[in-house]
C-alpha cells in the first residue's frame, strides 16, 4: 500500500494490529486479552526460565529429528519413484492418501505404540512432513528437461557424472520447494503432537498455563511459536528464491 | 494391458494390508491388532449403527465450520485480492496464520467458548480459513492482465470485470483452496474431538483406547482417514471436470 | 515541436493527403525513469492499414495501448474520429497478441463478448457474432472451447470479436506472432481482403519487416532510446496486383531491404 507517496513494507500492518491489541488490552474488555506490552514483558522474563528453555529444547529436538528423518528418507524415495515406474505405481496411491489424510487421527495410535514421549512426537512430525517431500522430489525427477539428459549423453557423461552433475541440480529446486512446505507442515505436526500428548514440551506448558489461567504467559509462548514458525518459513522461501533463478530458465 | 494401473493399485493395497495383518499376528506390539480384526470391528460397528451415529456427531462441527470458512474465506479473499489497502491490512494476518501452528490456539478457544460445539466449529474455521483466503486472493490478483485489458477495451464496467472475468478466471484456484480447506478442516475436527471433548469418532478412538479395545480404535481411525480421502478425491474429480477448459492450455501452449 | 523529433529528411511523405481517423500529437509516456515515448506524433489515414514497426523496446505496443485507452499517457493528445481519447471507447476494438479469449466460454460467447459487455440482447449479439465467425472462416466451431482450437483459430476468434463490435478503428497488437508461419501467411492475405472490404482503419503492430510491407498502406518505423518515429513509408506500386504477386514485386523487395538497412544497427 502507498501512504503519503511512500510504499509501506508488506508486513507493516502487523504493527497496526499490535496497537489494536494493546488498546483492547488496556481497556480491560476481556480477561483473555491482556495488553500486548505486558505480554512482551512476561515474554522477556519467561524466556529466561528453565521451564521455557526446556520446552523449546525438547520441541526443537523432536522437530529436527522428525524433519531430518523425512528429508533423509523422503528425498531418495521420491527420486526412486520418479525413476522406477513399478515402484511409482505401487507407492503413489499411498503417498496421495497420506498427503491429504487427517493425520491427527493417527496420533492416538502412535501414543499407544510408542508411549507418551518424544518418540511419538518425532514420528508425528515426520508423518506431517514426509509426503510432500516425496511427492515434490518425484515431480522434480519426472519433469527434468529431456534435452538436458540427452545433452549429457551426447557429450559422453558417465552415469555417475550424469547423476551428480545434471540430475541432482536439475531436481534441486523442486526438492527444496518440497522441503520448505514439509518443514512448515512439520511445525504444525510437532505442535499437534505435543498438544495431544500434552505432557511434553510446549504442550505441557500450554496445559499448565491454560489450567491456571495464566493468560500473559500463554500469549507469550504463542507469540514465540508463531514468530519462530514465520521466521523459519521466511528464511526457507528466501533460500528457495536463491535457486529459483535457474528453475525458471530451464 | 489396459488394467495395469488398477492391478498395481490392488497389488499395492494387498501388500500394505498384508503387511499390517502379518505385523498384527507376530504381534509387534500388544496394541497392534491385525487387519482382519480391525475390519471385523469396523463391520460390527457398522452393524449396530454406532459408527454412523458417531459420524453424525463428528460431521456437525466440520460441516458448519467449513460452510462458515468458505463463505467468509472467499469473501475476504476476494476483497484482499481486489484492494491493495485491504491487502496491506489483512493479508499479513492470513499469511502468519498459514505458517503458524494454529492448533496451539485450542486451549484459548476452550477457555473463551467452553467445550461445546462453538469451540469445535472455531477450531475447524481457524484451520480451514487461511488457505481459502490466500488461494482466493492470490487467484484474483493473478487473473491474466490481457483478459482484463480485453474486457476494458470492450468497455466493461468494474462490475463486469469482476463478475465476467475475475471470478470465472479465479474459480479453479478458489475451488482448490476450498479442497485444501476441507482437508485442513478434517484435521481440525478430529483434533477438536481428541483435545476438547471426546464426541463422535474421537469418542470411539479415546474410549476404545482407554478400555484397550484396539481393533475398534484402529477401525475408527481407518474409517475417518478413508472417509476424508474419498471425499477429497471426489472433490478433486469434480474440480477437474468443472474446470476442464481452464486447466488445459490457455494462453501459452 | 514534433518536427524536432521526426527526422524530416527521412520522411518520404510529409503528411498524408487523406483525412486521419486517428491522430497522435506530441504524446509522451514514462515508466518510472524510462522514457517509453517522447513527443511522438503520427497520423493514421482513414480506411487504411498503418503498421508500427521497430525493434523490441521501441514503444510500439505502448503506443497502441495508449491509443486503445488501456494505458494513460503523460502529455500530448490523441484523437480518434475527432474526439479526444480519455479511455477505451466504442470506436476502437483491440486484437491481442495472446488472443485474450475466455477459456471458460465457447467460441460463440467469446466472439460475442464485446457486444455482451455493451448490453446487446443475446439473440441479436449471437447473430452478429455468427456472421463474423463465418467471415473469419470458423463456421462450425461455434460451440468449441479455446483449448480445442489451434493458435491460428484462436486468433480468428479474437478477430471476430473485434469485428463484431463494429468499431471504426481496429488495433492489432502483434496478432500473428503466436501462430505458425504458414497460418501467418494465410492471415496476411486475409488481412488485405479485410482492409479492402471492411472500410475500417487498421493499426497493426508487428516486428516482422516482411509482414509490415506486405499488409500496409503506410509503415511507421519507430526507433528506441528515445522512442521516436524515424520514417514513414507508403508503398505505391504493388497494392492491387494480387496477393500472390506482392512478394515478387521489386518495390516490395526494395522497401524490405531499405527498412532492414535502417533497423539493423538497433538489433542487439
pLDDT tens per residue, range C89-114: 888 889 988 888 888 888 999 999 88
Dihedral sign computed on CA atoms, order B73, B79, B82, B86: negative
Span A50-80, pLDDT tens digits: 888 999 999 999 999 999 999 999 998 998 8
pLDDT recorded at residue A2: 66
**Averaged confidence pLDDT in chain C:** 83
Span C33-70, pLDDT tens digits: 788 888 888 889 888 899 998 887 778 888 898 998 88
DSSP C203: E
pLDDT recorded at residue C16: 47
Tell me: do C77 and C116 sit in the same domain: no
Span A81-125, pLDDT tens digits: 988 888 888 899 899 889 888 888 999 999 988 888 889 999 999
pLDDT recorded at residue C18: 60
B205 → closest Cβ in A89, A108, A206: A108
Dihedral angle over CA of B195, B199, B202, B204, nearest 10: 140
Predicted-complex ipTM score: 0.84
The CATH number of residue C46's host domain is 3.40.50.300
How is chain B classified by DSSP, letter by letter?
-TTHHHHHHHHHHHHHHHHHHHHHHTTS-TT---HHHHHHHHHHHHHTTHHHHHHHHHHHHHHHHHHHHHHHHHHHHHHHHH-HHHHHHHHHHHHHHHHS-GGGGHHHHHHHHTTSHHHHHHHHHHHHHHHHHHHHHHHHHTS-HHHHHHHHHTT--HHHIIIIIIHHHHHHHHHHHHHHHHHHHHHHHHHHHHHT---HHHHHHHHHHHTT-HHHHHHHHHHHHHHHHHHHHHHHHHHHHHTHHHHS--S--
Higher per-residue confidence, C162 vs B252: C162
Contact criterion met (CB below 8 Å) for C73 and C81: no
| CA nearest to C169, candidates C7, C46, C84 | C46
For residue C13, count CB atoms less than 10 angstroms from its CB and return exposed for 0-12, middle for 13-18, buried for 19 or more: exposed
Q: Kindly report each contact of residues C12-18 with a partner whose C-beta sits within 8 Å and lies 24 or more positions away, as own/partner.
A: C12/C231, C12/C232, C12/C233, C12/C234, C13/C232, C13/C234, C15/C43, C16/C43, C16/C45, C16/C218, C16/C234, C18/C45, C18/C46, C18/C47, C18/C48
Residues of C at the B interface (Cβ-Cβ below 8 Å)?
65, 68-70, 88-90, 92-94, 96-104, 113-114, 116-118, 145-147, 161, 165, 171
| B13–A102 C-beta distance less than 8 A | no
| B206–A17 C-beta distance less than 8 A | no
Residue carrying C-alpha cell 476442464:
B244
Q: Would residue C14 count as lying in a domain?
A: no
Tell me: do C180 and C232 sit in the same domain: yes
Tell me: do C57 and C70 sit in the same domain: yes
Select from C166, C182, C197 the last residue of a domain: C166
Q: Would residue C1 count as lying in a domain?
A: no
C168 φ, ψ to 5°? -75, -25
Judge C/B contact: 3 or more CB pairs < 8 A: yes
Contact criterion met (CB below 8 Å) for C168 and C201: yes
Select from C134, C149, C166 the last residue of a domain: C166
- Catalogue all structural domains in chain A, each as residue range(s) with its CATH number: 49-248 (1.10.3720.10)
pLDDT recorded at residue A4: 66
**Beta pairing class for C34-45 and C49-53:** unpaired
Alpha carbons C129 and B175: distance in angstroms, whole number:
32
Structure confidence at residue B245 as a pLDDT band (50, 70, 90): low
**Averaged confidence pLDDT in chain A:** 85
Q: Is B88 on the interface with C (CB under 8 A)?
A: no
- Catalogue all structural domains in chain B, each as residue range(s) with its CATH number: 35-243 (1.10.3720.10)
Tell me: do C45 and C72 sit in the same domain: yes
Q: Which residue of B has its CA nearest to A89?
A: B8
| CA nearest to B221, candidates B17, B15, B39, B66 | B39
Tell me: do C201 and C80 sit in the same domain: yes
C11, pLDDT greater than 50: no
Span B16-72, pLDDT tens digits: 999 999 988 888 888 889 999 999 999 999 999 889 999 998 999 999 999 999 999
| B194–A107 C-beta distance less than 8 A | yes
Q: Kindly list the distances between the CA atom of residue A230 and the CA atoms of A54, B73, B162, in Å, as whole numbers in the listed order.
A: 21, 21, 33
Q: Which residue of C has its CA nearest to B242?
A: C104
CA A52 distance to own-chain centroid: 21
Residues of A in contact with B221 (CB under 8 A): 105-106, 108-109
Cell numbers of A224, please? Answer: 514465540
pLDDT recorded at residue B250: 38
Distance from the first to the final alpha carbon of chain B: 31
Tell me: do C79 and C203 sit in the same domain: yes
Q: Which residue of B has its CA nearest to C162?
A: B154
Dihedral sign computed on CA atoms, order A60, A61, A62, A65: positive
Judge A/C contact: 3 or more CB pairs < 8 A: no
Q: Which residue of B has its CA nearest to C164?
A: B154
Select from C115, C143, C166 the last residue of a domain: C166
Sequence-distant (≥ 6) Cβ neighbours of residue A54 within 8 angstroms: A201
Q: Is B59 on the interface with C (CB under 8 A)?
A: no
Alpha carbons A137 and A180: distance in angstroms, whole number:
12
Q: Is B251 on the interface with C (CB under 8 A)?
A: yes
Neighbours of B, requiring at least 3 CB pairs below 8 Å, are A, C
Q: Would residue C216 count as lying in a domain?
A: yes
Q: Kindly report each contact of residues A81-88 with a partner whose C-beta sits within 8 Å and lies 24 or more positions away, as own/partner.
A: A81/A134, A81/A137, A81/A138, A81/A141, A82/A137, A82/A138, A82/A139, A82/A140, A82/A141, A82/A142, A83/A141, A86/B8, A88/A138
Q: Would residue C112 count as lying in a domain?
A: yes
Structure confidence at residue C85 as a pLDDT band (50, 70, 90): confident
C123, pLDDT greater than 80: yes
CA atoms in the 13 A half-sphere facing the CB of B73: 33
Q: Would residue C133 count as lying in a domain?
A: yes
Tell me: do C176 and C87 sit in the same domain: yes
Window from A70-79, B135-144, C178-187 with minimum mean pLDDT: C178-187
Number of domains into which chain C is organized: 2
Tell me: do C146 and C186 sit in the same domain: no
Residues of B in contact with C70 (CB under 8 A): 149, 152-153
Tell me: do C74 and C180 sit in the same domain: yes
Contact criterion met (CB below 8 Å) for A93 and A146: no
Tell me: do C112 and C244 sit in the same domain: no
| CA nearest to B192, candidates C218, A104, C112, A221 | A104
Residue window 139-168, chain B: list those with CB within 8 Å of chain C.
144, 146-147, 149-156, 160, 164-165, 168
Residues of B in contact with A108 (CB under 8 A): 194, 205-206, 209, 217, 221
Residues of A in contact with B93 (CB under 8 A): 14, 17
Structure confidence at residue A225 as a pLDDT band (50, 70, 90): confident
**Averaged confidence pLDDT in chain B:** 87
Tell me: do C147 and C212 sit in the same domain: no
Contact criterion met (CB below 8 Å) for A172 and A243: yes
Print the domain residue range for C48: 19-91+167-263
Q: What is the pLDDT averaged over residues B125-144?
A: 92
| A16–B103 C-beta distance less than 8 A | no
Angle at B82 between CA B80 and CA B86, to 5 degrees: 40
Check residue B100 and give left, alpha or beta (phi > 0: left; psi -120 to 50: alpha): beta
Q: What is the pLDDT averaged over residues C212-217?
A: 87
B92 → closest Cβ in A14, A97, A107: A14
pLDDT recorded at residue A244: 67
Percent residues over pLDDT 90 in chain B: 38
Q: Would residue C230 count as lying in a domain?
A: yes
B248, pLDDT greater than 60: no
Q: What is the pLDDT averaged over residues A191-206?
A: 86
Span A199-218, pLDDT tens digits: 888 888 888 888 888 888 88
Q: Would residue C8 count as lying in a domain?
A: no
pLDDT recorded at residue C268: 67
Tell me: do C129 and C173 sit in the same domain: no
Q: Would residue C173 count as lying in a domain?
A: yes
A132, pLDDT greater than 90: yes
Q: Kindly list the distances between the CA atom of residue A169 and the CA atoms of A71, A131, A149, A175, A204, in Å, as whole numbers in the listed order.
A: 17, 21, 12, 10, 43
Structure confidence at residue A3 as a pLDDT band (50, 70, 90): low
Amino acid at each position: 500500500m502507498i501512504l503519503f507517496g511512500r510504499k509501506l513494507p508488506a508486513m507493516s500492518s502487523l504493527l497496526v494490529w499490535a496497537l489494536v491489541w494493546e488498546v483492547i488490552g488496556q481497556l480491560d474488555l476481556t480477561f483473555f486479552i491482556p495488553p500486548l506490552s505486558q505480554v512482551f514483558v512476561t515474554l522477556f522474563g519467561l524466556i529466561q526460565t528453565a521451564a521455557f528453555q526446556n520446552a523449546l529444547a525438547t520441541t526443537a529436538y523432536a522437530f529436527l529429528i522428525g524433519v531430518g528423518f523425512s528429508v533423509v528418507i523422503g528425498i531418495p524415495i521420491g527420486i526412486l519413484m520418479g525413476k522406477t515406474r513399478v515402484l511409482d505405481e505401487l507407492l503413489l496411491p499411498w503417498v496421495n492418501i497420506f498427503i491429504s489424510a487427517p493425520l491427527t487421527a493417527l496420533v492416538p495410535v502412535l501414543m499407544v505404540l510408542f508411549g507418551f514421549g518424544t518418540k511419538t512426537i518425532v514420528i508425528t512430525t515426520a508423518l506431517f512432513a514426509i509426503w510432500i517431500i516425496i511427492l515434490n522430489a518425484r515431480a522434480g525427477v519426472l519433469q527434468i528437461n529431456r534435452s538436458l539428459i540427452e545433452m549429457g549423453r551426447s557429450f559422453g557423461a558417465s552415469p555417475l557424472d550424469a547423476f551428480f552433475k545434471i540430475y541432482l541440480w536439475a531436481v534441486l529446486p523442486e526438492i527444496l520447494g518440497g522441503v520448505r512446505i514439509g518443514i512448515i507442515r512439520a511445525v504444525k505436526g510437532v505442535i499437534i503432537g505435543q498438544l495431544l500428548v500434552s505432557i511434553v514440551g510446549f504442550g505441557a506448558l500450554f496445559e499448565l498455563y491454560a489450567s491456571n489461567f495464566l493468560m500473559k504467559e500463554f500469549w507469550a509462548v504463542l507469540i514465540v511459536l508463531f514468530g519462530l514458525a514465520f521466521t523459519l518459513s521466511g528464511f526457507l522461501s528466501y533460500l528457495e528464491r536463491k535457486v529459483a533463478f535457474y528453475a525458471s530458465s530451464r | 494391458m489396459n488394467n495395469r494401473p488398477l492391478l498395481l493399485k490392488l497389488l499395492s493395497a494387498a501388500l500394505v494390508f498384508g503387511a499390517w495383518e502379518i505385523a498384527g499376528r507376530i504381534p509387534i506390539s500388544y496394541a497392534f491388532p491385525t487387519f482382519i480384526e480391525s475390519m471385523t470391528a469396523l463391520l460390527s460397528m457398522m452393524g449396530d449403527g454406532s459408527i454412523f451415529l458417531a459420524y453424525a456427531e463428528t460431521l456437525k462441527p466440520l460441516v458448519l465450520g467449513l460452510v462458515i470458512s468458505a463463505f467468509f474465506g472467499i469473501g475476504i479473499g476476494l476483497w484482499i485480492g481486489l484492494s491493495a489497502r485491504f491487502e496491506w491490512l489483512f493479508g499479513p494476518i492470513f499469511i502468519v496464520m498459514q505458517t503458524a501452528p494454529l492448533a496451539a490456539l485450542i486451549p484459548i478457544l476452550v477457555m473463551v467458548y467452553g467445550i461445546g460445539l462453538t469451540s469445535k466449529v472455531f477450531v475447524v474455521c481457524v484451520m480451514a480459513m487461511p488457505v481459502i483466503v490466500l488461494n482466493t486472493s492470490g487467484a484474483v490478483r493473478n487473473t491474466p492482465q490481457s483478459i482484463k485489458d480485453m474486457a476494458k477495451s470492450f468497455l466493461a464496467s468494474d462490475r463486469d470485470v469482476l463478475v465476467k472475468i475475475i471470478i470465472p478466471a479465479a474459480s479453479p484456484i478458489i475451488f482448490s483452496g476450498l479442497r485444501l480447506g476441507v482437508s485442513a478442516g478434517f484435521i481440525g475436527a478430529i483434533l477438536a474431538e481428541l483435545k476438547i471433548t471426546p464426541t463422535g469418532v474421537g469418542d470411539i478412538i479415546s474410549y476404545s483406547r482407554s478400555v484397550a479395545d484396539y481393533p475398534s480404535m484402529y477401525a475408527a481411525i481407518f474409517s475417518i482417514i478413508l472417509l476424508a480421502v474419498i471425499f477429497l478425491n471426489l472433490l478433486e474429480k469434480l474440480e477437474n471436470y468443472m474446470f476442464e477448459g481452464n486447466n488445459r492450455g490457455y494462453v501459452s501452449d | 515541436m514534433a518536427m524536432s523529433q521526426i527526422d524530416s529528411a527521412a520522411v518520404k511523405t510529409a503528411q498524408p493527403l487523406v483525412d486521419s481517423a486517428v491522430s497522435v500529437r506530441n504524446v509522451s509516456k514514462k515508466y518510472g525513469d524510462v522514457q517509453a515515448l517522447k513527443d511522438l506524433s503520427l497520423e493514421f489515414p482513414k480506411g487504411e492499414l498503418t503498421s508500427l514497426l521497430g525493434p523490441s523496446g521501441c514503444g510500439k505496443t505502448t503506443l497502441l495501448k495508449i491509443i486503445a485507452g488501456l494505458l494513460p499517457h503523460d502529455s500530448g493528445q490523441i484523437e480518434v474520429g475527432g474526439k479526444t481519447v480519455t479511455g477505451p471507447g466504442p470506436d476502437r476494438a483491440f486484437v491481442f497478441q495472446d488472443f485474450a479469449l475466455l477459456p471458460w466460454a465457447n467460441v460463440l460467447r467469446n466472439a460475442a463478448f464485446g457486444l455482451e459487455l455493451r448490453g446487446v440482447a443475446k439473440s441479436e449479439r449471437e447473430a452478429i457474432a455468427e456472421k463474423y465467425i463465418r467471415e473469419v472462416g470458423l463456421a462450425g466451431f461455434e460451440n468449441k472451447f479455446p483449448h480445442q482450437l489451434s493458435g491460428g483459430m484462436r486468433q480468428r476468434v479474437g478477430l471476430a470479436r473485434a469485428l463484431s463490435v463494429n468499431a471504426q478503428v481496429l488495433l492489432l497488437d502483434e496478432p500473428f506472432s503466436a501462430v505458425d508461419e504458414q497460418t501467418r501467411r494465410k492471415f496476411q492475405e486475409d488481412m488485405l481482403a479485410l482492409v479492402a472490404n471492411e472500410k475500417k482503419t487498421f493499426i497493426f503492430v508487428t516486428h516482422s519487416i516482411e509482414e509490415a510491407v506486405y499488409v500496409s498502406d503506410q509503415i511507421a518505423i519507430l526507433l528506441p532510446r528515445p522512442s521516436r518515429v524515424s520514417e514513414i513509408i507508403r508503398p505505391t506500386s504493388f497494392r492491387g496486383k494480387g496477393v500472390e504477386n506482392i512478394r515478387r514485386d521489386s518495390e516490395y523487395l526494395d522497401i524490405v531491404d531499405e527498412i532492414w538497412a535502417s533497423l539493423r544497427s538497433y538489433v542487439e
